[in-house]
């Protein structure tokens, strides 16, 4: 990966731990299901070397273009594909790949997506209320805010945002949309701010934006289906490593892996969750909530 313009938020999270536990070997095929800027893929490419193959997937075509530039010159063969990782079996079959040695997932939104106001992921920057990782399909956050019932909105905000004022916030959104279209990140943040008291340093819109983003991109469904796809693609002895960033995702990863262990489908090379080092969290704030889990197919 090139050294230019690397902000801390662009650094791959838990690089040493991901390499240690995914453990890619020379000549292997690695699927990076969440390519992003290609930071982890560049590390894996160094390990698999000239005979190896890195297959990077992303739902976001912008991410693929940025990763393509960042991976220029790596030794391994690279194939970068526009696909949801839940559809990795189909995406790989289109390039003639049936089984792989490693699958890696780094769940969530990328720093690039957060930094670009037009993508609508961040209430810190005003932009259209979009939040789709795949900009060519599906409903935007503005669509959900405009069409869901008050109860559906409250449930999403409660479940995916773990926000205790979910009902109050949903009520304010529904009241506001009676007289206006809520089309921008700044306007939604304002409505939420007016609906609930500010607690501590966290902006009240943080949880609402997280909830809408998870709903717009069906992130938890993707994780469940993606883990199923990954285990079916792995060769015996192959590994899946998953980086998650909040408790909802980590719970899914943990429960599915424990189910594999119970069913004799996989072993867990490290039973306990792996957390970042203090030194990394000081440099890269995104690492603070990271959790890494790994499974090895039997
Ligand atoms: C946190 S970033 C990955 C960063 C990357 N590991 C790196 O080092 O640059 C997550 C990326 O995964 C993509 N993504 C999220 N959910 C996805 C899904 N279900 N299928 C494919 N890509 C997804 C996002 O578009 C984003 O680019």
CA 250 to each of CA 126, 167, 223, 237, 267: distance values in angstroms, whole numbers, following the listed order: 30, 25, 10, 23, 18
For residue 38, tell me if it sits in a domain. yes
Q: From CA 298, how far away is CA 295, in angstroms rounded?
A: 9
Where is the domain boundary, 188, 216, 244? 216
Average pLDDT over residues 270-275: 95
Q: Is 108 in the pocket of ligand 1 (CB under 6 A)?
A: yes
CA 68 to each of CA 85, 88, 222: distance values in angstroms, whole numbers, following the listed order: 18, 19, 24
For residue 3, tell me if it sits in a domain. no
Regarding whether 241 and 100 lie in a shared domain, the answer is yes
pLDDT number for residue 2: 44
Strands (E), 164-283: 234-244, 266-267
Handedness of CA 135, 139, 144, 146 (dihedral sign): positive
Regarding whether 22 and 89 lie in a shared domain, the answer is yes
pLDDT, tens digit, 9 for 90 and up, residues 100-139: 999 999 998 888 888 889 999 998 889 999 999 999 889 9
Regarding whether 266 and 189 lie in a shared domain, the answer is no
pLDDT, tens digit, 9 for 90 and up, residues 191-230: 999 999 777 788 889 999 999 999 999 999 999 999 999 9
Where is the domain boundary, 201, 216, 231? 216
Regarding whether 225 and 208 lie in a shared domain, the answer is no
Q: Is 222 in the pocket of ligand 1 (CB under 6 A)?
A: yes
Where is the domain boundary, 148, 182, 216? 216
CATH of the domain at 75: 3.40.50.150
Q: What is the band of 5 on the pLDDT scale with cuts at 50, 70, 90?
A: low
Q: Is 34 in the pocket of ligand 1 (CB under 6 A)?
A: yes
Regarding whether 228 and 206 lie in a shared domain, the answer is no
Determine the distance separating the centroid of ligand 1 and the alpha carbon of 178, expressed in angstroms. Answer: 35
Regarding whether 231 and 147 lie in a shared domain, the answer is no
Number of independent structural domains in the chain: 2
Regarding whether 242 and 195 lie in a shared domain, the answer is no
Regarding whether 198 and 146 lie in a shared domain, the answer is yes
Calculate the average pLDDT of the chain.
Answer: 94
Regarding whether 235 and 99 lie in a shared domain, the answer is yes
Task: Please state the φ and ψ torsions of residue 194, each to the nearest 5 degrees.
Answer: -75, -20
Q: Is 120 in the pocket of ligand 1 (CB under 6 A)?
A: no
Q: Which domain holds residue 43?
A: 8-112+219-297
Q: From CA 135, how far away is CA 121, in angstroms rounded?
A: 12
Task: Please state the φ and ψ torsions of residue 211, each to the nearest 5 degrees.
Answer: -65, -45
Regarding whether 108 and 14 lie in a shared domain, the answer is yes
Q: Is 56 in the pocket of ligand 1 (CB under 6 A)?
A: no
């Amino acid at each position: 990966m090139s050294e230019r313009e690397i902000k801390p938020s662009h650094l791959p999270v838990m690089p040493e731990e991901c390499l240690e536990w995914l453990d890619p070997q020379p000549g292997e095929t690695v699927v990076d299901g969440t390519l992003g800027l290609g930071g982890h893929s560049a590390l894996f490419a160094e390990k698999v070397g000239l005979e190896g193959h890195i297959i990077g997937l992303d739902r976001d075509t912008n991410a693929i273009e940025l990763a393509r530039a960042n991976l220029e010159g790596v030794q391994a063969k690279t194939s970068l594909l526009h696909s949801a990782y839940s559809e990795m079996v189909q995406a790989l079959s289109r390039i003639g790949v049936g089984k792989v040695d490693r699958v890696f997932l780094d769940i969530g939104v990328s720093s690039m997506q957060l930094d670009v106001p037009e993508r609508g992921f961040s209430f810190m920057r005003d932009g259209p209320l979009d939040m789709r990782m795949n900009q060519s399909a599906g409903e935007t956050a503005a669509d959900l805010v405009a069409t869901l019932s008050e109860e559906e909105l409250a449930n999403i905000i409660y479940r995916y945002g773990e926000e205790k004022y979910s009902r109050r916030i949903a009520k304010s959104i529904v009241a506001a949309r009676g007289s206006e279209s809520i089309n921008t990140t700044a306007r939604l943040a304002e409505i939420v701010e007016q609906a609930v008291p500010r607690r501590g340093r966290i902006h009240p819109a943080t949880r609402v934006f997280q909830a809408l983003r998870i709903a717009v991109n069906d992130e938890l469904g993707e994780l469940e289906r993606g883990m199923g796809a990954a285990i079916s693609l792995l060769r015996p002895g192959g590994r899946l490593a998953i980086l998650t960033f909040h408790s909802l995702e980590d719970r899914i990863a943990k429960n599915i892996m424990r189910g594999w262990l119970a069913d004799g489908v996989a072993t867990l090379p490290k039973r306990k969750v792996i957390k970042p080092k203090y030194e990394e969290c000081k440099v890269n704030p995104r690492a603070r909530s990271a959790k890494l889990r790994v499974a090895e197919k039997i």
